[in-house]
Amino acid sequence: MPKEIITSATSPTTGFTDKATPSPLAQGIRFGNMMFVSGQGPLNPKTKEVVSEDIQEQTRQTLTNLEGVLAAAGADFTNVVNMRVCLRDTVDFPKFNEAFTEFMQGEKVTRTCIGGTPHRAGVNVEIDCVAMFD
């Protein structure tokens, strides 16, 4: 069974060290009934620039970018079973969680949230996910 590379025109591709270098990563890979979405951050898909310093705006943009990759595979957050979150500053957790909860509109997932240093300056949140299909 071959893996299927998922590409969304409405979400940025991450994993680059500079904007002129093509990313070595896939936005998502579907294998059978599973889909793995690469970590997304708060980047504007057109400019690849961080949308804001505000953690809540960054969280909403990050989830919007994830949503775009899921949609390219015919999925949405109802298909997501697990998310992993990296926050640059764990002090941001309450505001992050508030924006996350509002965005997800009651949809339940499993989630791990850790403190760490995302790969790019100005990126204060990064989220990846695993989705399942029937």
pLDDT digits (tens, 9 = 90+) for 88-133: 999 999 999 999 999 999 999 999 999 998 878 899 999 999 999 9
What was the pLDDT predicted at 18? Answer: 67
111's tokens: 């989630």
Range of the domain at 23: 4-132
Asked whether the predicted pLDDT for residue 82 surpasses 90, the reply is: yes
What is this structure's pTM? 0.94
**Sequence-ordered list of residues with C-beta below 8 angstroms from that of 64, at least 6 positions apart, any chain:** 11
Q: How sure is the predictor about 16, in pLDDT bands with cuts at 50, 70 and 90?
A: low
CATH number, residue 46: 3.30.1330.40
C-alpha closest to that of 41 among 94, 85, 92: 85
Please tell me the total count of domains within the chain: 1
Is residue 35 within 8 Å of residue 133, measured between CB atoms?
yes
